[in-house]
Amino acid sequence: DQQVKQNSPSLSVQEGRISILNCDYTNSMFDYFLWYKKYPAEGPTFLISISSIKDKNEDGRFTVFLNKSAKHLSLHIVPSQPGDSAVYFCAARPYDKVIFGPGTSLSVIP
Amino acid sequence: NAGVTQTPKFQVLKTGQSMTLQCAQDMNHNSMYWYRQDPGMGLRLIYYSASEGTTDKGEVPNGYNVSRLNKREFSLRLESAAPSQTSVYFCASNVAGDTYEQYFGPGTRLTVT
């Protein structure tokens, strides 16, 4: 049973608009959440993270929101650019490991 | 500073053959990891090494062995490859700390026929 879920396998957004990628988790013991971005034929790269004691973290065009009561987090990209087209993985940390979701493929259309 | 490097990039094996995937990092990181990525499954942890001299099983360790050769190198061995091990394998490393931001290698695409 997946502990980190990304229920949208893919998402298409027009350039300049907002992209919202969603993630749900089941384990209330997770204390840190991360988003990774992956281009084809490359390894994932770290994008942004948030501690469970916060509800928002912002880094340039990227903002992550955490709703602990709903066990839900989201990644907002504003404005979306064609270079943002990639697979985005949500990840969560329990203790000394990281658990990844299945990923959402984002396409930003020029 | 090359970051995390993996060899080979591609490999085709026949069922029952063995091979070792190599990983090295030059960032002086303590912790190293091996993941496999399969469609719709995300990245699943195979084995990890929190420090030189220690290794622990992850989510999907069956059919694999690892060696933490030194602080820089962490290898993954398939003793008798099976078609179910067809996957893309990623090595990662990080400084042991609070954020667990991992640095990934470019991956090895393995096909077992």
Cβ separation of A100 and B103 shorter than 8 Å? Answer: no
**Euclidean distance between CA atoms B44 and A98, whole angstroms:** 9
Which whole number is the average pLDDT over A71-75?
Answer: 97
Residue A44 near chain B (CB below 8 Å): yes
Q: Say yes or no for a CB contact (<8 Å) between B42 and A43.
A: no
> What gap in Å lies between CA A30 and CA A95, rounded to an integer?
8
Of A34, A43, A96, the CB nearest to B50: A96
3-state secondary structure of A78: coil
Task: Kindly state the DSSP code that residue B85 receives in the 8-state scheme.
Answer: G
Minimal Cβ distance to B48: which of A32, A97, A99: A97
pLDDT at residue B61 greater than cutoff 70 = yes
B97 — pLDDT class (breaks 50, 70, 90): low
CB atoms within 10 A of CB A70: 9
Categorize the per-residue pLDDT at B20 as very low, low, confident or very high, splitting at 50, 70 and 90. very high
Q: What is the mean pLDDT of residues A57-86?
A: 97
